[in-house]
Amino acid sequence: MNSQILILFLVLVADVSTALGVVYTRHQSRHLAVELGALEVRQDEGLAEWSRLQIEQGWLADASQIEKTARGVLQMRQPDETQILVVRP
Amino acid sequence: MSKQSKQSIPSSRLYALLLIFLFSSFALVARAVNLQVMETDFLQGQGKARFLREVTIASTRGVITDRNGEPLAVSTPVDSVWVHPGELLEYPEKIEPLARLINADADEIERKLTQRANKEFVWLRRRLNPEIADKIRELEIPGVYLQKEYRRFYPAGEVTSHVIGFTNIDDIGQEGLELAYDSWLAGSPGSKRVIKNRKGQTVEEVELIRESDPGNDLHLSIDKRLQYLAYRELKSTVLKHGARSGSVVVLDVDSGEILAMVNQPSYNPNDPGHDTDGLRNRAVTDVIEPGSVMKPIAMTSILENRIATPTSPIETSPGWIVVSGHTITDHSNYGLLDTTGVITKSSNVGITKLALQLEPEQMWDTYSRFGFGEATGTGFPGESAGVLRNHRRWRRLEQATISYGYGISATPLQLAQAYAAIANGGKLRQPTFIQGANNPPISAIDPAVANAVARMLETVTTKAGTGSRARVANYRIAGKTGTSHKASASGYAASRYVSSFVGFGPASNPRLVCVVVINDPTGKEYYGGLVAAPLFSEVMTGAMRILNIPPDDYPAMLVSAGNTAGGQ
């Protein structure tokens, strides 16, 4: 009789503790899901930024712009054939 | 008191009350069972619908890069603005500042919205500048919303527009490689079911309905630096000679990869407009009658079938010959030439005399092994196959004209492919726009014959040849000029030409093939040697420098460090 009550009590304790455990993990999983969502948003923003920077680099590295600056602003020119010597290494 | 009243209640009333209670509790239980057991699916579904949401997982279109990883087409999110007409029309005074931001007429917007007052969604302006989108967001006008959309940008603009093409407003490829590789680049958006809380945050991902498939990147064989160089030179040549159009193709001899392909007129792929004339990638879609640049192909057939050797003599006097009642003339009377001289001087009479000794089938066979009359197989939209009629239908005159490039048509890319085979010891490789594509070499012609023809082509750029203007300092160049009359409705036009030059270098170890086609130059000069050859020289000079290709006689050019110091 006494042992039966003890078993019942233990089962009750186990039941309540797993119930609390379920509540806790549930809470945690929701918490992590929110965090994941936020990180996904950051990833999207990062990718968007990356694509914008690629485009910007593309514009800035545009050959016609570089040529204009090199020839116009920096007064650079290509040496002609007679001015080029190939040095033996 | 209580005892008395208890006794006074008749038992029949008690039973009746009990029965009512029993009946109603039974009804409640029945209803509960009905809801809990019979209709669970429906109710659970309804319950979940209160907090389950289906959200899309966006996928972006892949990036197109050149062979060095430089981006040529990139998608980036931008905002588009849409309005709920009913909501906005309640605040008509707010339309004015909005209209100013998007550079539109306020009255017109109001009229447009009034017409669509019963609708709930009207695009106002798609793909805004990010700064303007931010300003609109700050205005906080009721009924005005911003929606994220992807827009494609082409940093190289008109320089790469024909090869790459462009996408429409819904991000679907419309032209060029954007169209050819649309499904590879596009990817497909996925979707997932999630649970959201009151604040709209996702608290749990329930299931993935469809995985999002991000678009794949595309690595082209194009070299942006060569592309720009070729474009710049082509544009100035077309302007200088008042030409209608023009194309330049640069091909890597070893791999068959297209390093540059440019055309004039061009267009800005970031804002294509409606002018369809500039949209065609003429180097692939348009055919020309190549003229004299076909002579090396005929010469290959002549050498293959042992009609002549490179040194055997051929009489071209008096500078004209009659075939089937038609007179074929040379530019001037070249007298007695050797077979090599026929190519050097570009003698129509010489090549005609030699080619007419061939069986039509032999000649046709050589031409088709070089890929004429058949699309190159790049998969480029609208690629043309050119025309090489079957030899059974060749008449004698036709055989003669095909030997110097009339009565046959080809795209500039086909010419590049054929010359690459000559440069590559007879091995033909299918041209490709994709880096590292699988295009195994096919043995098209005997290596000894290919090398003999290549040596003949080298004489063209000597002082005596027609293509001396194609020379590149420090490099040996092999090539052939071409000048052909344009065919028109009433036969060949007397004063409209196609000037061309096809060649490769360095001749001792060919690395690059370059094709130049200038269509209808209206200036005084129209010969291939005067219009196309200088452009070829400019492009090849730059390409050799950019790609660091050693000159043929590199060791002879070396100066020891001591000498340099003394010289300075």
Give the number of domains in chain B.
2
Give the model's pLDDT for residue B120: 75
B33 in a structural domain: no
Is there a single domain that holds both residue B129 and residue B207? yes
Which chain A residues have any C-beta within 8 angstroms of a chain B C-beta?
Answer: 29-30, 33-34, 36-37, 44, 47-48, 51-52, 54-55, 57-59, 61-64, 67, 81, 85-88
Q: Which domain holds residue A60?
A: 2-74
Indicate which residue of B80, B221, B292, B346 is catalytic: B292
- Under DSSP, the state recorded for B120 is S
Tokens of A25: 């993990």
Give the model's pLDDT for residue B561: 57
Is there a single domain that holds both residue B170 and residue B260? no
The reply to whether B228 touches chain A by the CB within 8 Å rule is yes
Rounded to whole angstroms, how far apart are CA atoms B89 and B133? 21
- Under DSSP, the state recorded for B140 is -
* pLDDT greater than 70 at residue A1: no
* pLDDT greater than 70 at residue B4: no
Can the peptide bond before residue B272 be classed as cis, meaning omega within 30 degrees of 0? no
Is there a single domain that holds both residue B326 and residue B449? yes
Dump pLDDT digits (tens) for B426-448.
999 999 999 988 889 999 999 99
Give the model's pLDDT for residue B113: 81
Is there a single domain that holds both residue B191 and residue B249? no
Rounded to whole angstroms, how far apart are CA atoms B230 and B239? 14
Give the number of domains in chain A.
1
Do B202 and A44 lie within an 8 Å CB cutoff?
Answer: no
A14 in a structural domain: yes
Q: What is the predicted ipTM?
A: 0.76
Dump pLDDT digits (tens) for A16-66.
999 999 999 989 988 888 888 889 889 888 988 898 898 888 888 888 888
B234 in a structural domain: yes
A80 in a structural domain: no
CATH number of the domain to which B132 belongs: 3.90.1310.10
Give the model's pLDDT for residue B199: 67
pTM for the predicted model, two decimal places:
0.81
Do B474 and A29 lie within an 8 Å CB cutoff?
Answer: no
Position B560 confidence tier, pLDDT thresholds 50, 70, 90: low
Q: Which domain holds residue B433?
A: 224-269+281-554
Closest alpha carbon within chain B to A39 = B202
B565 in a structural domain: no
| CB count in 10 Å sphere of residue B162 | 29
Is there a single domain that holds both residue B382 and residue B404? yes
| Helical pair B396-403 and B295-304, crossing angle rounded to 10 deg | 110
- Which of B76, B197, B225 faces A55 most closely, judged by CB atoms? B76
Instruction: Report phi then psi at B506, rounded to 5.
Output: -70, 140
Give the model's pLDDT for residue A6: 92
Task: Name beta bridge partners: B75.
Answer: B152
B175 in a structural domain: yes
- Average pLDDT (B375-387) is 91
Closest alpha carbon within chain A to B555 = A88
- Residue B42: half-sphere exposure toward Cβ, Cα within 13 Å: 6
Do B228 and A64 lie within an 8 Å CB cutoff?
Answer: yes
- Which of A33, A54, A88 faces B74 most closely, judged by CB atoms? A54
Do B473 and A81 lie within an 8 Å CB cutoff?
Answer: yes
Which of B74, B79, B207, B270 is the mutation pick for testing A, counting most A CBs within 10 A? B74
The reply to whether B202 touches chain A by the CB within 8 Å rule is yes
A55 in a structural domain: yes
Is there a single domain that holds both residue B438 and residue B378? yes
C-alpha distance from A18 to closest chain B C-alpha (Å): 21
A25 in a structural domain: yes
* pLDDT greater than 70 at residue B409: yes
* pLDDT greater than 80 at residue B38: no
Chain B environment of A57 (Cβ under 8 Å): 71, 155
Question: In the predicted model, what is the mean pLDDT of chain B?
Answer: 88
- Residue B149: half-sphere exposure toward Cβ, Cα within 13 Å: 21
CATH number of the domain to which B484 belongs: 3.40.710.10
- Dihedral, CA atoms, B519, B474, B370, B67, nearest 10 degrees? -80
Is there a single domain that holds both residue B231 and residue B203? no
C-alpha distance from B557 to closest chain A C-alpha (Å): 6
Is there a single domain that holds both residue B182 and residue B247? no
Do B75 and A51 lie within an 8 Å CB cutoff?
Answer: yes
Position B321 confidence tier, pLDDT thresholds 50, 70, 90: very high
B29 in a structural domain: no
Give the model's pLDDT for residue B5: 52
Is there a single domain that holds both residue B202 and residue B77? yes
Is there a single domain that holds both residue B210 and residue B290? no
A11 in a structural domain: yes
Is there a single domain that holds both residue B361 and residue B508? yes
- Average pLDDT (B547-557) is 86
- Which of B63, B204, B561 faces A29 most closely, judged by CB atoms? B204
- DSSP characters for B420-433? HHHHTTTEE---BS
A19 in a structural domain: yes
Give the model's pLDDT for residue B567: 42
Give the model's pLDDT for residue B224: 93
Do B74 and A58 lie within an 8 Å CB cutoff?
Answer: yes
Give the model's pLDDT for residue B458: 94
- Which of A47, A59, A81 faces B155 most closely, judged by CB atoms? A59
* pLDDT greater than 60 at residue B563: no
Give the model's pLDDT for residue B568: 39
B292 is catalytic: yes
Give the model's pLDDT for residue B566: 43
- Which of A37, A48, A67 faces B76 most closely, judged by CB atoms? A48
Is there a single domain that holds both residue B334 and residue B457? yes
Dump pLDDT digits (tens) for B138-147.
888 888 888 7
Share of chain B above pLDDT 90, in %: 56
E-strand stretches of B331-378: 336-338
Grouping H, G, I as helix, E, B as strand and the rest as coil, residue B245 is: strand
A79 in a structural domain: no
For B455, counting Cβ atoms within 10 Å of its Cβ (0-12 exposed, 13-18 middle, 19+ buried), the class is middle
Rounded to whole angstroms, how far apart are CA atoms A34 and A42? 13
Instruction: Report phi then psi at B2, rounded to 5.
Output: -65, -40
Rounded to whole angstroms, how far apart are CA atoms B304 and B477? 23
Dump pLDDT digits (tens) for B48-57.
666 777 777 7
Grouping H, G, I as helix, E, B as strand and the rest as coil, residue B559 is: strand
A46 in a structural domain: yes
